[in-house]
Structure 1
Amino acid sequence: MRHANLENALASILSQYPEGKSEYELFGLLQQAPFALFDKNCLSEPLLLFQSHFVLFHSLYQLRSLYLNEQIADIEIHSTLIKLQPYQSQKEGLTELDSLQAYYLDWRNFSTTSGHDVEQLLTQFWTAMGKGSVSIALDEVKAAFQYFELDVDSDLRQVKTVYRKYQHLHHPDKGGETQKAQQTEANFNLLKTYLSQP
């Protein structure tokens, strides 16, 4: 699914603001004329916020893929900063999808994420924050759970079980790919940090 109007609006905004914008600032611009692509209440409750965030990041990653494939530019995509970057020839467009990009380009993640899932992630996030853990973006956590094909309320024991299976499958010594093994390790470390008690 493509959101051509949203992608066109994002292309316009990013070219007007070379210093970049935060996700929150982007929503502010996209809620106003001439765009008016998001409702004023799109961030008012957790599930709506997640869905709006997903649609925005889906379109950002679509636009990024288009720019890379046409060798126009790259887009730095983080909730705190979204900005155009110069195209670099070593970029290979869609040949090397990171976990977040793969997550946001898959519409099943939009349709299968429930209000309960979002509340669970928020509860775990604020509990971790209250115990002094490092701040981890919720979208990265959701993408990591998705990578391991686990529900967002899975515990560390379940994550470790799947992680060991994936490492055995993807380890270069067992005929797997180094990049896949590194991605598995990175996703595991993210979830371990997220789920571990300090």
Structure 2
Amino acid sequence: MVNPLIDEIFHLLLRQSTWKVHTLASALGETNYLKQLDEDPQKDLFKRNFLIMNGLYQLQAQLAPTQRLEIASLHIELIDTCPTDRPEKDDPLRAYYLDWQNYDTSRDAIDALLDQFWQRFSTHNRFCLTQVSAEQLYPIIQHWQLPADYSYRELQKRWRQLALKYHPDRQGSATKFKKIRQEYEQLKANCSH
């Protein structure tokens, strides 16, 4: 099945060769190519993401071998390439997003996929952090206005408040957002779930 977003995604890639999935989704939303797809917000988000990723992988195959389309959730880039360059055939994400049976998945399956993603993300970030002592965390805890024995739920709530305040897409500071993101990861690594 041909994805109806392919032409618009290609048009956007010609205007700007590097994207992120969320910025691509935003641009598609502004052009009214990507409207609400489900009443359930989680399923709607999943279906939007599915259509974008499916379109990207179909476009990747169409562009080969004259151009290479690199696809990752945080980095999408259209690159001029030599004719011998081919997309990886054993990419599990590619296989998943090209299978249209996955488009209309259940809420439970979406929740499971999100849980798996956050577990992998959390594990990866823990290894990227430097160890922080309790003394070093104390000023961060105070700055974040958290109790000394903060819970994971309290931390998440405060993180969302600060992220909304400082996110660069919401007129915040990229430097400040990066700093609070790092602090969040440090605080998260040191709290009991």
Q: Give the structure-2-normalised TM-score.
A: 0.56
Give the AA of the match of 2:93: L
1:23–1:81 CA contact under 8 A, matched in 2: yes
1:57–1:104 CA contact under 8 A, matched in 2: yes
- Structure 1 residues 105 and 121, CA, compared in 2 at 3 Å: closer, same or farther? closer
Q: Corresponding residue for 1:12?
A: 11
1:3–1:59 CA contact under 8 A, matched in 2: yes
Aligned runs of 1:153-192 on 2, under 5 Å? none
Question: In the alignment, is residue 26 of structure 1 matched against residue 24 of structure 2?
Answer: yes
Max Rg structure: 2
> SS where residue 55 of structure 1 aligns?
helix
2:61–2:87 CA contact under 8 A, matched in 1: yes
> SS where residue 133 of structure 1 aligns?
helix
- Structure 1 residues 72 and 116, CA, compared in 2 at 3 Å: closer, same or farther? same
> SS where residue 90 of structure 1 aligns?
coil
Give the AA of the match of 1:104: Y
Question: In the alignment, is residue 100 of structure 1 matched against residue 96 of structure 2?
Answer: no
CA shift for structure 1 position 60? 0.6
1:50–1:118 CA contact under 8 A, matched in 2: yes
Whole-Å separation in 1 of the counterparts to 2:61 and 2:94: 10
Q: Deviations over 1:43-95 (max 9, x none)?
A: 98222111111111111111110000xx331111111111101223222468x
Give the AA of the match of 1:107: W
Q: Which runs of 5+ in 1 are unaligned?
A: 136-198
Q: Corresponding residue for 1:65?
A: 61
Whole-Å separation in 2 of the counterparts to 1:80 and 1:88: 24
Q: Give the structure-1-normalised TM-score.
A: 0.55
Q: Deviations over 1:90-117 (max 9, x none)?
A: 22468x3422211111111223x21011
Percent identity reads: 26
Q: Deviations over 1:4-61 (max 9, x none)?
A: 4x1111111111112x11111111110113xx11126879822211111111111111
